[in-house]
């Protein structure tokens, strides 16, 4: 499959997608989101892939939704096309998706990073929701995911002022899992992705589903959901293998079933 706005490769059991519109600082237009979904479909359906990494360039993960594509849009069109709804499909993926963010992650770029399961950032990363400067507001979940990630005070201040946060502030606020020097970001993210991909895929996917449940339900319901999923994992061969390997003091040989 060939793409014009992204690069797609595999490294062992890890899929790597690189946003590749350098002339527009990886601004997200509908083609980028469509191609991203096609690449993710491919990885989602490939049993040999256990984790996916999404990255950009050292200057920009993505500088937002494509303003030049949006400038002439009108309400009937955006409503009828459900403009930017393809981003929801990215959020509904079942395999883990890690964002490796260097440079600008602004507007839709910040939102895309937050759709991923966690963010590793380069020390030059900058996060922000500057839509307020354009007379609009975040439209790919920014008001919701940023607030859940860093709390109301900081999220409200950022969305209302449009100011940017550097990597250190983003890590302290809980938006970012770890920071690396920019030239080590991709290598370190791929290392973590390989670790995740080496685990039993059913247990990885079920764990992701359970953690995400936090955002949709009460504690009691979430714990009940987790318990049911935990019970069901005893139907997998990897559960027997993982525990047997511990008892026999050897590494597990997961078959991902």
Residues forming contacts to ligand HXC in the complex (CB under 6 A) are: 24-25, 27, 63-68, 84, 104, 106-108, 130-131, 134, 138-140
Give the largest CA-CA distance in the chain.
Answer: 65
| Least Å from the CB of residue 121 to ligand HXC | 16
Sign of the C-alpha dihedral, residues 226, 229, 234, 239? negative
| Least Å from the CB of residue 148 to ligand HXC | 17
**Known active-site residue 65:** yes
Q: Parallel, antiparallel, or unpaired for β 104-106 and 60-62?
A: parallel
**Known active-site residue 108:** yes
Choice between 139 and 252, CB closer to ligand HXC = 139
The single residue of 62, 131, 141, 142 carrying the catalytic annotation is: 131
The single residue of 102, 111, 142, 171 carrying the catalytic annotation is: 111
Choice between 56 and 64, CB closer to ligand HXC = 64
Alpha helical stretches, state H, 71-175: 75-80, 86-91, 108-115, 142-150, 152-161, 167-173
Choice between 157 and 187, CB closer to ligand HXC = 157
The single residue of 27, 39, 65, 167 carrying the catalytic annotation is: 65
**Known active-site residue 226:** no
| Least Å from the CB of residue 155 to ligand HXC | 15
Q: 31: how many CB neighbours lie within 10 A of its CB?
A: 15
Choice between 109 and 202, CB closer to ligand HXC = 109
- Residue 7 dihedral angles phi and psi, to the nearest 5°: -115, 140
- Residue 101 dihedral angles phi and psi, to the nearest 5°: -110, 115
- Residue 39 dihedral angles phi and psi, to the nearest 5°: -65, -40
Choice between 47 and 135, CB closer to ligand HXC = 135
DSSP string computed for 163-232: -EEEHHHHHHHTS-SEEE-GGGHHHHHHHHHHHHHTS-HHHHHHHHHHHHHTTTS-HHHHHHHHHHHHHH
| Least Å from the CB of residue 84 to ligand HXC | 4
Q: Which of 211, 204, 213 is nearest to 233 (CA)?
A: 204
| Least Å from the CB of residue 147 to ligand HXC | 16
The single residue of 56, 103, 108, 141 carrying the catalytic annotation is: 108
**Known active-site residue 111:** yes
- Helix (H) / strand (E) containing 31: helix 30-44
- Residue 165 dihedral angles phi and psi, to the nearest 5°: -110, 135
Active-site residues, by number, are 65, 108, 111, 131
């Amino acid at each position: 499959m060939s793409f014009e706005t992204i690069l797609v490769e595999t490294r062992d059991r890890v899929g790597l997608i690189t946003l590749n519109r350098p002339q527009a600082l990886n601004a997200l237009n509908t083609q980028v989101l469509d191609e991203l979904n096609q690449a993710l479909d491919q990885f989602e359906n490939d049993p040999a892939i256990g984790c996916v990494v999404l990255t950009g360039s050292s200057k920009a993960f993505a500088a937002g939704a494509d303003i030049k594509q949006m400038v002439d849009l009108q309400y009937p069109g955006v409503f009828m096309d459900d403009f930017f709804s393809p981003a929801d499909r990215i959020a509904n993926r079942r395999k883990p998706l890690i964002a490796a963010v260097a440079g600008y992650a602004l507007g839709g770029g910040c939102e895309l990073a937050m759709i991923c399961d966690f963010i590793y950032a380069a020390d030059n990363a900058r996060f922000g929701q500057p839509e307020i400067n354009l007379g609009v507001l975040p439209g790919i979940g920014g008001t919701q995911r940023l607030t859940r990630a860093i709390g109301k005070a900081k999220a409200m201040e950022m969305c209302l002022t449009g100011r940017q946060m550097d990597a250190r502030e983003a890590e302290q606020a809980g938006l970012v899992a770890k920071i690396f020097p920019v030239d080590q970001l991709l290598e370190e993210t791929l290392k973590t992705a390989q670790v995740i991909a080496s685990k039993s895929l059913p247990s990885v996917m079920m764990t992701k589903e359970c953690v995400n449940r936090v955002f949709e339900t009460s504690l009691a319901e979430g714990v009940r959901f987790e318990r049911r999923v935990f019970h069901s994992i005893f139907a997998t061969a990897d559960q027997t293998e993982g525990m047997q390997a511990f008892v026999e003091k050897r590494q597990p040989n997961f078959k991902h079933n």
